[in-house]
Structure 1
Amino acid sequence: MTEQHDRMPLVPANIDTYRHPVVYMHEDCHLCRSEGFTTQTRIEIELDGKRIIATLNVITGEDWLPPETAALSNTAWEAMTVQPGAVGRFSHPEPPASASSIRAKVYGGRLDEDGCRAIISDTVQRRLSDLDLGAFVTSCAGDRLDTAETTALTLAMRDAGARLDWGAGPVLDKHCVGGLPGNRTTPIVVAIVAAAGHLIPKTSSRAITSPAGTADTMEVMAPVALDQSAMRRVVEAEGGCIVWGGGLDLSPADDMLIRIERPLDFDSEGLMVASILSKKAAAGSSHVLIDMPVGPTAKVRSDMAAQSLSRRLTAVAGALGQTLAIHRSDGSTPVGLGIGPALEAHDVLAVLRRDPQAPADLRARALDVAGALLDMAGTDGRARAADLLDGGAAEARFMAICAAQGGFREPGTAPQVSPVTAARAGTITAIDNRRIAKIAKLAGAPGRKTSGVRLHARVGDTVAAGQPLFSVHAETRGELSWALDYAASGDSSFVVEDAP
């Protein structure tokens, strides 16, 4: 063997593996033979002092990858900042230090502070495989994390990435627990609070399981992928921002854990609290309002679940030195008219522009949340929020924020639209949040920005047979067809009963 036996040229695979570093090697490459590398082997790759650990996928065909070349997935390529012609060094990594802590938790043990920090450190450094992370997420599912463990995990997640400091004075923030389609209050709330003269540097997420996240909706109106320096310039100029948190390195372990949680579909109160509060703490928020919709098809389904989650949020926020308030809201039915990034953006703008046809429920919810945040800052709550919205100050501040983030643009509309009508006459008594959200996702949301669902009837409305209940908006005929097929199958998203 030569001195270069552990090295191979690197090329991009141009494959999106969603935050998971993957390396591709041909089955006949000398490293696979000499080092015993096989499919799913964890491999450490070093280049110019940078190291990552990637999962191996073995190529068996002859056409795509030469035997003596390694290809990196998009995530691995970006993490290594590879230049053309680069040659990487490959080796077996040391076993992750946190493996014993994960194993102990799987068998019913408790996590201490050192164990939490080891797990989060190994997660951020990508030393844990998806199997390791899956075992950890599973061991935390349900109520398997107590409050002390949740606090330790939150602190570890907060400290694993960047932390923003906005100086003295209250830094306001809000978060919605989720599960309620169309509940896009954040752009309105940020505009009101910033117009009131308070600091509200809002970082938001893209959709995980919903038809739109706040960042998805905001992105159809203004750029959201700002770095820390650009974000700071916006906040210093306008008092607030609405930016995507994924590019700011705030609680980076959270995004990696969410990638595992999403396909497993496990609910963990402890992981939810750690996710929310670690990002708020890293973003420098001192006063946090949690909007908690409660309803049978929302994420929080009962008063008992809401009380349990509220207690844990309050306890962990106290340990982090944050002032926290819980705002319980009705989670029984979608909010506004639009479900999907552009459709929700149209609703947001209608409220800010004081359009007579703006959805009244979205306006009321935004005023409730903004008022509660202003109360936390010691000002005149909801009345002040209504004055700022109705007088146009909130709209002006929102447009200024959009301009500072890179420029405002009007949201577009989908080329394919088809109504779904009532099968019978009667009164609408319920709307299934989950089914209506799935229809919006099948139509293409959030990836297709103008796709989704627009409601034409609400709970309490009386409808005639054949009257439109909602319309499906899609950018392609195929996605429109998939959404309509699902809407016609099984139980209806709208419950229509005889009028009393």
Structure 2
Amino acid sequence: MPETLLLRRVAIDTYHENVAYLHRDCRAYRSEGFQALNKVEIHPEGGGPLVLAVLNVVDDPAITTPDELGLSEQAFAQLGVAAGTPVQIAQARPPGSLEAVHRKIQGKRLGREEYQAIAADIACNRYSKIEMSAFIVACAQAGLERDEVLSLTEAMIASGERLDWGEPLVVDKHCIGGVPGNRTSLIVTPIVAAHGLLFPKTSSRAITSPAGTADTMECLARVALEPRELREIARRERGFLAWGGTARLAPADDVLIAVERPLSLDSPGQMVASILAKKVAAGSTHLIVDIPVGPSAKIREGRDALYLRKLFELVGDCLGLHLEVMLTDGSQPVGRGVGPVLEARDAMQVLQDDPQAPADLREKSLVLAGRLLELDPGVRGGQGRTLAEEILTSGRALAKMEAIIEAQGRNREPPTLGALRHEVPAASDGVITAIDNRQIARIARLAGAPLDPGAGVDLYRRLGDPVRAGEALYAIHAQFPADFHFARAQAGRDPGYRIGEPNHRARNGAGE
């Protein structure tokens, strides 16, 4: 017989994992199967919605008494009943798809039905984070065949909702990441939308970087928008920049991303599946994928970039996407700011046609926007960049961005730059010969980005710039002393910049 306890809301954000709290003196705790980290099924007494959760055992009655069952914020919201409601708790059966995960751990190839079952179980919170970590690591270690990437992509799409805009041309662009800054979407979207092409830009939160498009846009406007709001904004403005999680677009992917972030894993097969699942679910028909290539980027060599391009094109073709891949320069960060507030500043400077705007961010955005504009049958090939620049310099792109911000809901109390500031000095005279993208990103994350949007790194020097000993290479910004200390200490061990003689370039981002 299931145990009946009174429901209690425990105000803990467990980040995409359902957690239940049981007091050690509860009679259920003494039953077999109710030990910590086991999974349990919970539903209101007499029937109702079922929630699966990972069990934690507590000793403090201020959290949960022996007659209560506590639920974390996410699990409580999913159950959807009031605190104090009698609920029943029972041992949960392992998800049926877990056997397929065990096969993947053994290096076996999985079929379409198995990936469908895994994605469905993950989206329904039947997996614990430990089980999801096992799946992610198994896919990274054993690798995914091309048909497996397609199957995983289709399974992620099927796990949630799909948007249909009722138009034959719905454009999007996506960068695979690995280069700090590079916040081109905040510039490309209003340029393309101002031209009239439909550009419903959905983005995930940052996985391994100091900021994602959604994190940066949130400094300016709301990004957690319901599908109804997205449709209305798209109808009026022809574009938006939103987080895909609220719209339940490929929700299995959102849950997996929450586990990938602390693991710092982003394997090629899972990356392709994650990106394309989101784009298809968001209703895109035409997609430009930006793959930066550089010695300290996510993709370091041309052959790896070509393999990834072929994988994107193969899976995209099978999904009916018109997909083009652009290989871009990933030898150093793009723009000056690394972190949400700083990257939002850079993007707005470009849109405002500010003379102080980062020239590299402006140029890359214009190239990407130009390629998207050329998807319009009315724009001649080779004319896209010129048209994009005209839209930018005329102020139409800025006006469109302001309209999108207002439509999404302007952030009336935008986050500010972290007040704690430290400039990292050059150790010697010379010329900047290499900038380690990974190290700069790591320092920005240690400073608190993206969870603290005002944290990050503000770059002063670029490749080829002359520098004298003691001059600042960049500034670290943080809000909290502990983060500030960690970031400064990391920069002290390795600032991420290499300084050499003029006309000399280091062979890679590690300064070899």
* TM-score calculated relative to the size of structure 1: 0.96
Percent identical residues: 45
Partner of 2:318: 319
**2:491 paired with 1:494:** no
SS of residue paired to 1:449: coil
Tell me how far apart the structure 2 counterparts of residues 35 and 46 of structure 1 sit (CA, whole Å): 19
SS of residue paired to 1:246: coil
Match of 2:12 among 4, 10, 15: 15
1:300 maps to a residue whose letter is I
Tell me how far apart the structure 1 counterparts of residues 116 and 455 of structure 2 sit (CA, whole Å): 41
Shift of residue 242, structure 1, vs aligned partner: 0.3
Shift of residue 329, structure 1, vs aligned partner: 0.5
Tell me how far apart the structure 1 counterparts of residues 134 and 449 of structure 2 sit (CA, whole Å): 30
Shift of residue 19, structure 1, vs aligned partner: 0.6
Pair 448,129 (structure 1): closer, same or farther in 2 beyond 3 Å = closer
Q: Given that residues 369 and 385 in structure 2 are in contact (C-alpha distance below 8 angstroms), is that contact kept between their aligned partners in structure 1?
A: yes
1:16 maps to a residue whose letter is D
Partner of 2:506: none
Q: State the aligned residue count.
A: 496
Aligned counterparts, 1:305-384, within 5 A: 305-378=304-377, 379=379, 380-384=383-387
Pair 134,442 (structure 1): closer, same or farther in 2 beyond 3 Å = closer
2:208 maps to a residue whose letter is T
Q: Given that residues 346 and 411 in structure 1 are in contact (C-alpha distance below 8 angstroms), is that contact kept between their aligned partners in structure 2?
A: no
Tell me how far apart the structure 1 counterparts of residues 328 and 110 of structure 2 sit (CA, whole Å): 33
Pair 136,408 (structure 1): closer, same or farther in 2 beyond 3 Å = closer
Tell me how far apart the structure 2 counterparts of residues 142 and 106 of structure 1 sit (CA, whole Å): 8
Tell me how far apart the structure 1 counterparts of residues 402 and 411 of structure 2 sit (CA, whole Å): 7
Shift of residue 62, structure 1, vs aligned partner: 5.2
Shift of residue 432, structure 1, vs aligned partner: 0.8
Tell me how far apart the structure 1 counterparts of residues 437 and 263 of structure 2 sit (CA, whole Å): 20
**Which structure 1 segments of 5+ residues have no match?**
none
Partner of 1:298: 297
1:80 maps to a residue whose letter is L
Shift of residue 377, structure 1, vs aligned partner: 3.0
**2:406 paired with 1:406:** no
- Note the alpha carbon deviations across 1:242-264, whole angstroms, 9 max, x for none: 01111110000001112222333
Aligned counterparts, 1:78-157, within 5 A: 78-142=77-141, 144-157=143-156
Aligned counterparts, 1:35-434, within 5 A: 35-47=32-44, 49-61=48-60, 64-142=63-141, 144-378=143-377, 379=379, 380-407=383-410, 412-434=416-438
Pair 390,266 (structure 1): closer, same or farther in 2 beyond 3 Å = same
Shift of residue 63, structure 1, vs aligned partner: 5.1
Shift of residue 164, structure 1, vs aligned partner: 0.3
Tell me how far apart the structure 2 counterparts of residues 343 and 17 of structure 1 sit (CA, whole Å): 28
SS of residue paired to 1:278: helix
SS of residue paired to 1:169: coil
Tell me how far apart the structure 1 counterparts of residues 499 and 392 of structure 2 sit (CA, whole Å): 35
Q: Given that residues 123 and 252 in structure 2 are in contact (C-alpha distance below 8 angstroms), is that contact kept between their aligned partners in structure 1?
A: yes
- Note the alpha carbon deviations across 1:406-460, whole angstroms, 9 max, x for none: 1265663332222111111100011111111121122221122222111111111
1:219 maps to a residue whose letter is E
Pair 215,114 (structure 1): closer, same or farther in 2 beyond 3 Å = same
Q: Given that residues 179 and 297 in structure 2 are in contact (C-alpha distance below 8 angstroms), is that contact kept between their aligned partners in structure 1?
A: yes
Tell me how far apart the structure 1 counterparts of residues 368 and 403 of structure 2 sit (CA, whole Å): 21
Tell me how far apart the structure 2 counterparts of residues 414 and 29 of structure 1 sit (CA, whole Å): 46
Q: Given that residues 143 and 269 in structure 1 are in contact (C-alpha distance below 8 angstroms), is that contact kept between their aligned partners in structure 2?
A: no
SS of residue paired to 2:50: strand
Pair 306,441 (structure 1): closer, same or farther in 2 beyond 3 Å = same
Q: Given that residues 142 and 267 in structure 1 are in contact (C-alpha distance below 8 angstroms), is that contact kept between their aligned partners in structure 2?
A: no
Tell me how far apart the structure 2 counterparts of residues 322 and 462 of structure 1 sit (CA, whole Å): 45
My pick for the range that moved more, 194-203 or 301-310, is 301-310
1:11 maps to a residue whose letter is R
My pick for the range that moved more, 153-162 or 435-444, is 435-444
SS of residue paired to 1:229: helix
Q: Given that residues 158 and 279 in structure 1 are in contact (C-alpha distance below 8 angstroms), is that contact kept between their aligned partners in structure 2?
A: yes
Tell me how far apart the structure 2 counterparts of residues 263 and 472 of structure 1 sit (CA, whole Å): 22
Tell me how far apart the structure 2 counterparts of residues 65 and 80 of structure 1 sit (CA, whole Å): 17
1:429 maps to a residue whose letter is T
Tell me how far apart the structure 2 counterparts of residues 471 and 39 of structure 1 sit (CA, whole Å): 45
SS of residue paired to 1:367: helix
Tell me how far apart the structure 2 counterparts of residues 403 and 63 of structure 1 sit (CA, whole Å): 43
Tell me how far apart the structure 2 counterparts of residues 36 and 349 of structure 1 sit (CA, whole Å): 55
Q: Given that residues 9 and 83 in structure 2 are in contact (C-alpha distance below 8 angstroms), is that contact kept between their aligned partners in structure 1?
A: no
Q: Given that residues 335 and 359 in structure 2 are in contact (C-alpha distance below 8 angstroms), is that contact kept between their aligned partners in structure 1?
A: yes
Tell me how far apart the structure 2 counterparts of residues 264 and 442 of structure 1 sit (CA, whole Å): 15
Give the root-mean-square deviation of aligned CA atoms: 1.6
- Note the alpha carbon deviations across 1:27-60, whole angstroms, 9 max, x for none: 2211122454111111011135211110111113
Tell me how far apart the structure 2 counterparts of residues 255 and 232 of structure 1 sit (CA, whole Å): 21
Tell me how far apart the structure 1 counterparts of residues 321 and 8 of structure 2 sit (CA, whole Å): 46
Pair 108,401 (structure 1): closer, same or farther in 2 beyond 3 Å = same
SS of residue paired to 2:287: strand
Tell me how far apart the structure 1 counterparts of residues 18 and 341 of structure 2 sit (CA, whole Å): 32
Q: Given that residues 142 and 266 in structure 1 are in contact (C-alpha distance below 8 angstroms), is that contact kept between their aligned partners in structure 2?
A: no
Tell me how far apart the structure 1 counterparts of residues 230 and 88 of structure 2 sit (CA, whole Å): 37
**2:484 paired with 1:480:** yes
My pick for the range that moved more, 94-103 or 239-248, is 94-103
My pick for the range that moved more, 368-377 or 124-133, is 124-133
Q: Given that residues 448 and 455 in structure 2 are in contact (C-alpha distance below 8 angstroms), is that contact kept between their aligned partners in structure 1?
A: yes
My pick for the range that moved more, 108-117 or 190-199, is 108-117
Shift of residue 479, structure 1, vs aligned partner: 2.8
Shift of residue 67, structure 1, vs aligned partner: 0.8
Partner of 2:29: 32
**Which structure 2 segments of 5+ residues have no match?**
504-512
Q: Given that residues 107 and 142 in structure 2 are in contact (C-alpha distance below 8 angstroms), is that contact kept between their aligned partners in structure 1?
A: no
Q: Given that residues 143 and 268 in structure 1 are in contact (C-alpha distance below 8 angstroms), is that contact kept between their aligned partners in structure 2?
A: no
Q: Given that residues 188 and 366 in structure 1 are in contact (C-alpha distance below 8 angstroms), is that contact kept between their aligned partners in structure 2?
A: yes
Shift of residue 132, structure 1, vs aligned partner: 2.6
Partner of 1:450: 454
SS of residue paired to 1:108: coil
Q: 4+ residue runs of structure 1 moved beyond 6 angstroms?
A: none
Shift of residue 169, structure 1, vs aligned partner: 2.1
* TM-score calculated relative to the size of structure 2: 0.93
